[in-house]
Homo-oligomer: A and B are copies of this chain.
Amino acid sequence: MRNEEMIIRKKEHWFRMLFIWQGSVLPGLLPRLIMLFLLSLVVVYLHGTIFSFKVPLNPMPLTLFGFVLALFLGFRNGASYDRYWEGRKLWGALLNANRSLVRQALTLPGGTADPARIESFVRLLNAFTYALKHQLRGSDPTDDLKQRLDKEQLAEISREKYKPVILLNLMATWVARQRTAGRIDTNLQARFDENFDKLTDVVGGCERIISTPIPYSYQVLLHRTVYVYCFLLPFGLVDSLGWLTPFIVVFIAYTFVAFEAIADEIEEPFGVDANDLALTQMCQMIEYTTLESAGLPTGTVPNDALDVVD
């Protein structure tokens, strides 16, 4: 399960980093780069002719175009990274709101904090976190919900499509019961409610990132331009570079194609690619810190996750 998610590593020595394999996008691109290497070899062998017509491509238009391409790739890349980082910020906001809600449940009523009383609330919080993860990945939340909800809640939740939203309603109902019981007044109920609004924003924000990719025509246009450019490269460079052509072509192509591939990967940050967000570990960390903060036992939370999102 660890492999499906983000790889976080110690800093490597600068020299060893040149030869890293895992976590790089190189493996997936290798077949295409080998094809390009072979094509370049043929071009060198035929001295840039096709059916004995010399292809009169010189480096100038390729220079111009490489630069233009880099600018456009830079735009695509920036947009993808913004989506990635916004996804991370949303999960950070989830952590913050969860911790704040636990603190509010503990301290707003005044008196000595009683962990037992708020246990059901903390369980709802954590069920919410896991339910969101499963919604974003399209996976089955039943196991994770079963451990955190009672039967009645579970039956209600499993019928619904947008589970995190319903779980927020249950939390708000818990708070309303605290008011009915006279532990808080409407001033303090309003403070809880503000944090529920923040959690609603997190859910909607994650759904927005998943449901609205970067406009499709950008992807098509850039993809086409990058690959046509790589195909033209050997014809343009063969006259000046000779037998070095395949190496330089593959080096340049690697940079362009890899940049496009990374942008593609992080554009949907909630998936299970090597560079996507470590949602499972985040869930575990959020559960640990909310339980700890509430004074509840944290024994059941897997421990290896805590160093990742610490």
Contacts and interface: CB of A to CB of B under 8 A. Distances in A.
Interface of A: 6-9, 11, 14, 17-18, 20, 23-25, 32, 53, 55-72, 74-75, 77-79, 81, 84, 88-89, 92-93, 95-96, 99-100, 103-104, 106-111, 113, 135, 160-162, 165-166, 168-169, 172-173, 175-177, 179-180, 184-191, 193-197, 200-201, 203-205, 207-208, 210-213, 215-221, 223-225, 227-228, 237, 240-244, 248, 251-252, 255-256, 258-259, 262, 264-266, 274-275, 277, 288-289, 292-293, 306, 308-310
Contacts of A77: 75
Nearest to A206: B92
Given A56-B244, A92-B204, A220-B24, A71 B74 contact: yes
Contacts of A306: 161
Contact of A289 (B165, B176, B210): B165
Given A18-B227, A77-B75, A172 B107 contact: yes
Contacts of A75: 74, 77-78, 81
A293 B67 contact: no
A272 to B, nearest CB: 14
A65 B237 CA distance: 13
A293 B210 contact: no
Contacts of A63: 60, 63-64
Contacts of A188: 186, 189-190, 193
A244 B62 CA distance: 13
